[in-house]
Chains A and B, each alone.
Chain A
Amino acid sequence: DTAVSQTPKYLVTQMGNDKSIKCEQNLGHDTMYWYKQDSKKFLKIMFSYNNKELIINETVPNRFSPKSPDKAHLNLHINSLELGDSAVYFCASSQRTSGKDEQYFGPGTRLTVT
């Protein structure tokens, strides 16, 4: 009964391809996030959805498009992959109304673009 799950765990693909990463949480949280962790372990927020509504959209190339079909899912689609997109992508969720704002992270998806 994993709280936040991501698929796939590893993704190796060539430049120019389009790929998707999926995230699901079974915690009943209302807010989900995508983070990018680069090779230097720097963790940066990309997007956040609250109740399926986009609330955070950081300076990210428009090749990245998040989609939230329902509160439990937040997928990340990346078009025309570039070498610089290689990183570990983390999904996270939290419950805003809990007052704790603790983020629960997924295991990460390691994307390698060749």
Chain B
Amino acid sequence: AQRVTQPEKLLSVFKGAPVELKCNYSYSGSPELFWYVQYSRQRLQLLLRHISRESIKGFTADLNKGETSFHLKKPFAQEEDSAMYYCALKASGTYKYIFGTGTRLKVLA
């Protein structure tokens, strides 16, 4: 069964500290993986996708097929990074997205 697991509901870090939001997935084929972010009072929006291999707002995520993980990382957290982060999987060739339960990141001053 397809599944996305985000083990941490809440992650608190101090400003300037590194941050890693964990995401593990279960899918037998070749998945497409995404990170979406929801800032306070804003819409859910795409942060990055594994296909792009890009860094957005200092965040990166590497797909590790061996560990079936797609962890989101940033070397130095900023207060404006505080938000709800969702990892999402889309099975290739389908329209269906499966979202994780989300991790709330709080960056403390």
Chain A contacts to B: CB under 8 angstroms = 4, 31, 33, 35, 40-45, 48, 50, 55-56, 90, 92, 96, 100-108
Contact = CB atoms under 8 A, between A and B. Distances in A.
B101 A42 contact: yes
Interface of B: 32, 36, 43-46, 49, 84, 86, 90, 95-99, 101-102, 104
Nearest to A99: B51
B43 A107 contact: yes
A76 B102 CA distance: 24
Contact of A56 (B86, B96, B101): B96
Contacts of B102: 41-43
B32 A101 contact: yes
25 contacts: A4-B43, A31-B95, A33-B97, A35-B99, A40-B101, A41-B84, A41-B104, A42-B99, A42-B101, A42-B102, A43-B99, A44-B99, A45-B97, A48-B95, A48-B96, A50-B95, A90-B44, A100-B49, A101-B49, A101-B90, A104-B45, A105-B43, A105-B44, A105-B45, A108-B43
